[in-house]
Amino acid sequence: MLKKLKEKIPEHRLGLIYISFTAFLWSTSGLFIKILSTEPFQIAMYRSLIASVTVFFLVLIKDKKVKIDTDIISILSWISYAGIMIFFVVANRFTKAANVIFLQFTAPMYLLVLEPLFLKIKFRLKNLITILVTFTGMSLFFFGKLEPGDMKGNIIAIMAGICFAFFSLFIKWKKQLHKSENTISSIIAGNFLVFLICFPLVFNELGLSVTDFFILLYMGTIQIGISYTIFNAGLKYVSATESMIIATLEAVFNPVWVFFGVGEVPNIYALFGSLIIVSTILIHSFTGDRKQDTGDRR
């Protein structure tokens, strides 16, 4: 039934649904990272180890085999992915979650330059306008909350955004230029790379409370493992830049989790900012040339 329903949905719109749902799952991370009593590198290590195993078995169930590509683009995607996972967790411990989300989603700005340069696609004024309006909405969303915070945390969050941009670029590069559909292997290898990097830093502090264990189990399987599998599928139908634009929905979903988790009510600026973000993304995603938006060549 789901397969028949999927076949009826236009490919570009299917990509929008995939990336939007991914943003919804990603948005739970900030709250849980704040709740966890473990150290940042412990969180990154356990979460990514669980995610790597989760995606490995998902691929095994679907394709009956798992192939890890070792070409240069794949390796670069592993490294950039590992950067996202580690920098995001560490940044959340140094500065406010709002700062981290805002600064991580500078990724579309980098992709505006990187995608036309590396993937040889047309530079679209539509994307630039959408990003500028979206950032305006996000500025309102965090008005009165977005503070300079700890400079170290803010810099790390920016590094997470740069890694996010490059990861999306490399995955799209493999799909578009190398004609490879085996990009999911980058998720498996990237998560395992996080484990290898973090383990030596925390091998003397491996203990977890029961609460921390179940939170990390959720984050590894669903918030990272399943969500990045869906994100990978969605990138087949939309450009890397557009995927980042849609992913800014995470900034809208995040306060919903905060409200249910700690009872924090968004202020009027946040609500108005959310309206701007959602409206802009809907207009961008459901108007214009669908063929062009998937990253066609010049």
As a whole number of angstroms, the longest Cα–Cα distance in the chain is 55
DSSP string, 219-273: IIIIIIIIHHHHHHHHTTTS-HHHHHHHHTTHHHHHHHHHHHHH-PPP-HHHHHH
- Cα 271 to Cα 258: distance, rounded to the nearest angstrom: 14
* pLDDT band at residue 107 under the 50/70/90 scheme: confident
pLDDT at 54: 95
From residue 71, how far is each of 81, 163, 196, 238 by CA, in Å?
16, 19, 20, 23
Q: Can you give the pLDDT at residue 294? A: 47
| Most confident region among 25-29, 44-48, 207-211, 290-294 by mean pLDDT | 44-48
Delimit the domains of the chain by residue range: 21-291
CA angle 22, 201, 79 (to 5 degrees): 45
**154-174 average pLDDT score:** 89
Residue 206: strand, helix, or coil: coil
C-alpha dist (Å) from residue 120 to 173, 246, 277: 10, 21, 28
Contact between 121 and 289 (Cβ < 8 Å): no
Q: List pLDDT tens digits, range 24-55.
A: 998 888 788 878 888 889 999 999 999 999 99
Of residues 127 and 40, the one with the higher pLDDT is: 40
Tokens for 123?
């530079």
Whole-number Å distance between alpha carbons of 164 and 72: 18
Q: Specify burial of residue 21 (Cβ count, 10 A radius: 0-12, 13-18, 19+).
A: middle
Residues 229 and 54: their CA atoms lie apart, in Å, by: 10
Banded pLDDT at 195 (limits 50, 70, 90): very high
